[in-house]
Amino acid sequence: MNAITRITEPIVGLNVPAGVGMALEDVSTPALIIDLDAFERNVRRMGYFIKEKGIRHRAHAKTHKSADIALYQIEHGGACGMCCQKVAEAETLVAGGVKDVLVSNQVVDLKKIDRLAQLAKKARVLVCVDDLGNVDDLSAAAIKHGVTIECLVEIDCGAGRCGVEWGKPVVEIAKKITTSDGLKFSGLQAYQGAAQHVHDFEERKAKIEAAVKQVADTVEMLAAENLECDIVGGAGTGTYYFEGSSGVYNEMQCGSYIFMDADYQRVKDDQGDVISEFENSLFIWTSVMSHTKADKAICDAGLKAQSVDSGLPVIFGRDDVEYIKCSDEHGVISDPGNVLKLNDKLKLIPGHCDPTCNVYDWYVCYRNGTVECLWPVTARGMAF
Q: Is 179 exposed, middle or buried (0-12, 13-18, 19+ CB in 10 A)?
A: exposed
Of 39-47, 100-108, 145-153, 239-247: span binding its own copies (CB under 8 A):
100-108
| 329 lies in the binding site for its own copies (CB under 8 A) | yes
| 298 lies in the binding site for its own copies (CB under 8 A) | yes
| 348 lies in the binding site for its own copies (CB under 8 A) | no
| 266 lies in the binding site for its own copies (CB under 8 A) | no
Could you write out the DSSP letters of every residue in 156-182?
Answer: -SSSSSS-BPSSHHHHHHHHHHHTSTT
State which of positions 113-132 bind its own copies (CB under 8 A): 115, 130-131
CA 239 to chain centre: 14
Shortest separation between residue 150's beta carbon and its own copies, angstroms: 19
State which of positions 4-23 bind its own copies (CB under 8 A): 10, 12-13, 15, 17
Q: Which is nearer to its own copies, 207 or 291 (CB)?
A: 291
| 162 lies in the binding site for its own copies (CB under 8 A) | yes
Total residues in contact with its own copies, by rule CB under 8 A:
72
Among 360, 363, 366, 375, binds its own copies (CB under 8 A): 360
Question: In this structure, is the dihedral angle defined by the CA atoms of residues 267, 249, 177 and 146, taken in order, positive or negative?
Answer: positive
Among 244, 354, 373, 376, binds its own copies (CB under 8 A): 354
Angle between helices 132-145 and 168-178 (to 10 degrees): 20
State which of positions 219-248 bind its own copies (CB under 8 A): none
Q: Which is nearer to its own copies, 81 or 302 (CB)?
A: 302
Shortest separation between residue 268's beta carbon and its own copies, angstroms: 21
DSSP state of 378: T
User: Do 50 and 68 meet the contact criterion of CB atoms below 8 Å apart?
Assistant: no
Could you write out the DSSP letters of every residue in 210-279?
Answer: HHHHHHHHHHHHHHHTT---SEEEE--TTTHHHHHTSSS--EE---GGGT--TTGGG-B-TTSSBP-SS-
Among 58, 62, 176, 204, binds its own copies (CB under 8 A): 62
User: Do 362 and 374 meet the contact criterion of CB atoms below 8 Å apart?
Assistant: yes
Q: Which is nearer to its own copies, 17 or 81 (CB)?
A: 17
| 167 lies in the binding site for its own copies (CB under 8 A) | no
Torsion angle of C-alpha atoms 184, 136, 128, 92, degrees rounded to 10:
90
User: What's the rounded Cα separation, in Å, for the pair 128 and 135?
Assistant: 10
Torsion angle of C-alpha atoms 69, 3, 44, 86, degrees rounded to 10:
10
Of 177-185, 199-207, 268-276, 306-314: span binding its own copies (CB under 8 A):
306-314
| 66 lies in the binding site for its own copies (CB under 8 A) | no
Q: Which is nearer to its own copies, 50 or 125 (CB)?
A: 125
Q: Which is nearer to its own copies, 15 or 76 (CB)?
A: 15
